[in-house]
Structure 1
């Protein structure tokens, strides 16, 4: 896998400018890919040319400051053994190009080859009941045994039980997307279980991704942002268990936005009236309307919702994943 390092560095520097976000870079990706139109002998001049091409104005001092920040970030990557890729690199996840605000840059630790393997995103509450734990483990084991990569945020609860079995790591193919940077100091801002999961994943040749610079500590905003990456990495998403106010709604919303199939676990009879399954019931009973209420979207454009009532229904959802969400043939 190749890295277009010079242009990737320019994209990293560009992303350090105020008012230059993921949507802007995605919108102008076609122009960015045409290196011959703007790339010059120095990064400073290159960025200046590119900004002129896309009709953006920044002072020389602002450009220089952005380049300096990018250099600091790469130095942090090197000292912490963290990899870096940009949206134009060959190893950038193709599925992420399907979301409207694809991260301009990604930082990684671990086995990058997992990005070439089909993934399913398995999520849910951080405080599952015993049934939720068992179902998460069962679903994770099923898809892992079929060769799927399991993706989620490595949080407490459902995320953890979808990759663990009886407190022992059992799935080698895991992609964790975290809201902090990937340095050891940044990891200290994560819950203890998340740190343990990161260690498990890396030990078993899994992959950890983040769009945050290496030293960035996790906060609420960065966690919410990471949800769209989790949804983007997977060909589909499975909601195991969630209350209506659970953080899972951000990942589900991102899945709806990117037209991913959504599998929803039907609670067992004894759990139907539990508040921590309320999101599942709202979607199952309300369909598209219920889904829209959960993720706070007025218009859900033809989402594919699959109710997973038992382990016998997993293969049907798996078949849908295999035949849907083909990588968009982007003319960029």
Structure 2
């Protein structure tokens, strides 16, 4: 890598870590600078002036930004982590259609699978036995039909979606993380992560190496799961679950949204117990403050979301 290319990469990696800036603000800042050392000279007032709004954050730490960028480059080389910035030709074109797309997309494995037709399969971390079976079957069928199955490598439904895809000889699956792609959490899913990489899939996310998973990262992660996919399929999910946040993003991004028929018999739905499973009062309050309506699976279906039973129904929805 030439010195000029290395300088540019360091600057871009440093800007990618500025999570308090929007995509447009990161691009604007990049245009005004040529090296990360120039970025490190900026005060918070300078940064505010550069992007055209007042920034009030404790996350701006210019004294460590150069060393952090250098460490990111070393880790990426050692751990075989790649990065697609917003102008990379390999970047999935669907990302350009959403509000505030990622400035950078870090990955391990083959990112080409993200540019093929993708279908997201998501749901609760506490699926029933029937839900696990239906998720594996659906993911397998989608893989057989040539889709890359996208999920979040979490416990429960996500793990079943990735595992079901890998049962197909054609199976390619992508895991979108809410942390750096060098960190797989929970540890129990490390075998699935290794298997999906070996099968030619990829692990992807917008967070730089050594970034720990934070609660607020997961809604951000969910928007990428739906953004990468032509269709989002929810298997089982109680009201207030992260899977339904993904469903909301799919609707906002003008993607197809459907629910597997097994969703209707999930206990937290059929019993009318919106407080069961993953629902918490704290999450409901945050959701209300964000202006999001707190809906059950039944409500989504009443409002027009499709009900499906297999991959053929999903394919018919897209044709």
Q: TM-score scaled by structure 1?
A: 0.72
Q: Which residue of 2 aligns with 1:294?
A: 295
1:169 deviation in Å?
6.9
Aligned partners of 1:133, 1:232: CA distance in 2, in Å? 24
Q: Which residue of 2 aligns with 1:55?
A: 52
Aligned partners of 1:317, 1:193: CA distance in 2, in Å? 34
| Gapped regions of structure 2 (runs ≥ 5) | 275-291
1:32 deviation in Å?
6.6
Aligned partners of 1:267, 1:20: CA distance in 2, in Å? 39
Alignment of 1:199-278 (within 5 A): 199-267=194-262, 272=265, 274-275=267-268
Aligned partners of 2:75, 2:174: CA distance in 1, in Å? 22
1:96 deviation in Å?
1.7
1:294 deviation in Å?
2.1
User: Number of residue pairs matched?
Assistant: 285
1:158 deviation in Å?
1.7
Aligned partners of 1:245, 1:91: CA distance in 2, in Å? 35
> Is the CA contact (8 Å cut-off) linking 1:85 and 1:105 kept in structure 2?
yes
Per-residue Cα deviation, 1:10-67 (whole angstroms, up to 9, x for no partner): 23222445x742xx233564x578x5xx454x44447889966643689xx9656433
Find the residue that maps to 2:74 and give its secondary structure. helix
> Is the CA contact (8 Å cut-off) linking 2:132 and 2:160 kept in structure 1?
yes
Aligned partners of 1:226, 1:165: CA distance in 2, in Å? 21
Find the residue that maps to 1:264 and give its secondary structure. strand
Matched, 1:161 2:160: yes
> Is the CA contact (8 Å cut-off) linking 2:154 and 2:189 kept in structure 1?
yes
Alignment of 1:174-185 (within 5 A): 174-183=173-182
Q: Kindly tell me: are residues 233 and 214 of structure 1, through their superposed partners in 2, closer, same or farther at Cα, counting changes over 3 Å?
A: same
Q: Kindly tell me: are residues 133 and 44 of structure 1, through their superposed partners in 2, closer, same or farther at Cα, counting changes over 3 Å?
A: same
Aligned partners of 1:278, 1:313: CA distance in 2, in Å? 27
Aligned partners of 1:166, 1:119: CA distance in 2, in Å? 12
Matched, 1:133 2:128: no
- Give every structure 1 segment of 4 or more consecutive aligned residues whose post-TM-superposition deviation is greater than 6 Å: 46-50
Q: Kindly tell me: are residues 182 and 169 of structure 1, through their superposed partners in 2, closer, same or farther at Cα, counting changes over 3 Å?
A: farther
> Is the CA contact (8 Å cut-off) linking 2:152 and 2:176 kept in structure 1?
yes
2:186 equivalent among 167, 188, 191: 191
> Is the CA contact (8 Å cut-off) linking 2:17 and 2:208 kept in structure 1?
no
Aligned partners of 1:5, 1:146: CA distance in 2, in Å? 41
Q: TM-score scaled by structure 2?
A: 0.75
Q: Which residue of 1 aligns with 2:305?
A: 305
